[in-house]
């Protein structure tokens, strides 16, 4: 049952689709770019690029944006993404609610909604997801033709593993492929990932990881997850469960505990509860931090070390451009952690002449999971597909 990817052959049709997505991706990465420049960078002739650009123009995915002043010669016409050329729907399934959002091509949210999740069986969840899709399409008034697909984010790990029962995973999908299931139920292209992977893609598409090729996103959900991007693609593992960093044992006060017992949203809530504070919302945490709540500050002091440990593991295992913190914590708390953590000197990431900090705060805020769901779809629209296709 391992996820497997298979390389497919190239024919004219697939080559065209590949080239279209490649050109689109170059336009996105550059912001504005001309045809000749794309041709130089891609190894295609300017004529081929010209034809593809004219396709993309008539599909409304890109728009002409003036000419660029150059040193000599005819100034190249610049093209940029047309944000309203396509939309992605992102749906996040949380234990208590379903969140849905619509992102435009640039990854900017155009609408969003929240529905409490009553039933937790397969049919109930499916129905809720289908309803959320219809509702958000209606709310944003999207023509069906502009919907690129639906991204769905749910807690991992997927399938039966040794971690089953430790988190908030959806056991209703233990024996059903969620991707196949929702593709069927929604009759649309569907991408399914866990929250940490989605957060990483959100940062790649519209966050601080724009321009990065290889990075890691340490994600604070209820537990602690890790989204890994290598050469612009998700590192998913053989069964889609890579990045379960929260379950790595660390020693805390001489005892071996899972990392997420020391470093996660639940960990801080538990610590605060034991000090008599019942704080469960992000706003509550932000207020407590603003008020310099003593229990919270103690926890933050204690959290710096396991965080440093986690980052050392990530850096030495992945050699990323940077590690990004994301998820269910107020920005102020992330900033505090980033300021107080002592990064290891013995790390492959401790290199002279770095262009960015080793540790960054994500830009997607606390809705990063839902935004990430949409970002998965956007990302797929920009990813050329000859070579490997998941099956």
Pattern 269-308, DNA, x by CB under 7 A? ----------------------------------------
**Binding of residue 5 to its own copies (CB under 8 A):** yes
CB of 49 to DNA, least distance (A): 8
Give the footprint of its own copies on residues 39-68 (CB under 8 A).
Answer: 41-44, 48-49
Give the footprint of DNA on residues 71-110 (CB under 7 A).
Answer: 71-77
CB of 369 to its own copies, least distance (A): 20
Picking from 247, 214, 241, 220, the residue whose alpha carbon sits closest to that of residue 319 is: 214
Alpha-helical regions (H) of the chain: 12-30, 35-42, 46-58, 122-140, 178-186, 195-206, 259-262, 265-274, 282-290, 294-318, 331-340, 368-381
Residue 73 contact among DNA, its own copies, none, beta carbon within 5 to 8 Å by kind: DNA
CB of 316 to its own copies, least distance (A): 4
CB of 176 to DNA, least distance (A): 30
Q: Select the span of 46-54, 195-203, 281-289, 368-376 touching DNA (CB under 7 A).
A: 46-54
- Return all residues near 224 (Cβ < 8 A) that are at least 6 apart: 218, 245, 246, 259, 260, 263, 264, 310
- For residue 354, the tally of other CB atoms under 10 A from its CB is 11
Give the footprint of its own copies on residues 295-314 (CB under 8 A).
Answer: 309, 312-313
Give the footprint of its own copies on residues 258-277 (CB under 8 A).
Answer: 258
Give the footprint of its own copies on residues 19-38 (CB under 8 A).
Answer: 19, 22-23, 25
CB of 279 to DNA, least distance (A): 56
Residue 51 contact among DNA, its own copies, none, beta carbon within 5 to 8 Å by kind: DNA
- 100 forms beta bridges with 91, 113
Q: Select the span of 62-70, 111-119, 181-189, 297-305 touching DNA (CB under 7 A).
A: 62-70
Can you tell me which of 21, 28, 34, 87 binds DNA, judged by CB under 7 A?
A: 34
- How far is residue 102's CA from residue 94's CA, in Å, rounded to a whole number? 18
**Binding of residue 351 to its own copies (CB under 8 A):** yes
* Backbone dihedral region for residue 258 (phi beyond 0: left; psi -120 to 50: alpha; all else: beta): beta
Do residues 387 and 340 touch, judged by C-beta distance below 8 A? no
DSSP 143-164: -GGGEEEEEEE--S--SS-TTT
User: Which residue, 148 or 261, is less far from its own copies as judged by CB?
Assistant: 261
**Binding of residue 69 to DNA (CB under 7 A):** yes
**Binding of residue 247 to its own copies (CB under 8 A):** yes
Residue 387 contact among its own copies, DNA, none, beta carbon within 5 to 8 Å by kind: its own copies
Number of H helices, E strands in the chain: 12, 17
Pattern 212-231, its own copies, x by CB under 8 A? xxxx----------x---xx
**Binding of residue 57 to DNA (CB under 7 A):** no
What SS3 class is residue 326?
strand
Pattern 180-219, DNA, x by CB under 7 A? ----------------------------------------
- How far is residue 226's CA from residue 117's CA, in Å, rounded to a whole number? 26
Give the footprint of its own copies on residues 311-330 (CB under 8 A).
Answer: 312-313, 316-321
Picking from 116, 190, 122, the residue whose alpha carbon sits closest to that of residue 151 is: 190
Q: Select the span of 30-38, 297-305, 346-354, 362-370 touching DNA (CB under 7 A).
A: 30-38
User: Which residue, 141 or 345, is less far from its own copies as judged by CB?
Assistant: 345
Copy the structure tokens of residue 203.
């940062």
Cis amide bond preceding 191, omega within 30: no
CB of 95 to its own copies, least distance (A): 20
Alpha-helical regions (H) of 209-324: 259-262, 265-274, 282-290, 294-318
CB of 117 to its own copies, least distance (A): 25
- How far is residue 71's CA from residue 96's CA, in Å, rounded to a whole number? 59
């Amino acid at each position: 049952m391992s996820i497997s990817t298979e390389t497919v052959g190239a024919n004219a049709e697939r080559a065209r689709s590949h080239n279209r997505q490649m050109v689109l991706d170059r336009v996105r990465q550059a912001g504005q770019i001309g045809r000749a420049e794309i041709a130089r960078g891609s190894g295609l002739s300017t004529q081929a690029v010209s034809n593809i650009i004219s396709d993309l123009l008539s599909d409304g995915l890109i728009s002409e944006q003036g000419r660029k002043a150059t040193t000599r010669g005819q100034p190249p016409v610049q093209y940029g993404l047309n944000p309203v050329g396509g939309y992605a729907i992102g749906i996040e399934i949380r234990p208590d609610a379903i969140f849905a959002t619509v992102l435009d091509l640039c990854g900017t949210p155009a609408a969003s909604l929240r529905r409490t999740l009553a039933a937790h069986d397969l049919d109930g969840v499916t129905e809720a997801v289908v309803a959320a899709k219809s509702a958000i399409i209606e709310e944003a008034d999207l023509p069906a033709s502009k919907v690129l697909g639906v991204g769905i984010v749910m807690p991992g790990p997927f399938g039966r593993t040794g971690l089953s029962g430790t988190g908030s995973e959806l056991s209703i999908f233990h024996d059903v492929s969620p991707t196949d299931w929702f593709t069927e139920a929604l009759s649309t292209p569907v991408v399914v990932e866990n929250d940490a992977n989605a957060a990483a893609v959100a940062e790649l598409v519209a966050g601080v990881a724009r321009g990065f090729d290889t990075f890691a996103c340490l994600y604070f959900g209820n537990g602690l997850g890790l989204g890994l991007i290598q050469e612009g693609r998700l590192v998913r593992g053989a069964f889609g469960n890579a990045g379960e960093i929260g379950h790595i044992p660390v020693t805390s006060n001489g005892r071996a505990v899972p990392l997420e017992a020391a470093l996660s949203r639940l960990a801080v809530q538990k610590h605060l509860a034991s000090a008599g504070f019942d704080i469960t919302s992000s706003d509550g945490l932000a207020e407590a931090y603003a008020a310099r709540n003593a229990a919270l500050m103690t926890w933050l002091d204690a959290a710096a070390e396991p965080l440093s440990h986690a980052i050392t593991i990530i850096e030495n295992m992945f050699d990323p451009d940077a590690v990004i913190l994301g998820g269910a914590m107020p920005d102020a708390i992330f900033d505090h952690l980033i300021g107080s953590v002592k990064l290891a000197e013995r790390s492959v990431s401790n290199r002279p002449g770095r262009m960015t900090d080793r540790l960054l705060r994500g830009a997607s805020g606390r809705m990063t999971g839902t935004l990430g769901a949409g970002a998965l779809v956007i990302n797929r629209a920009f990813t050329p597909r000859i070579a490997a296709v998941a099956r």
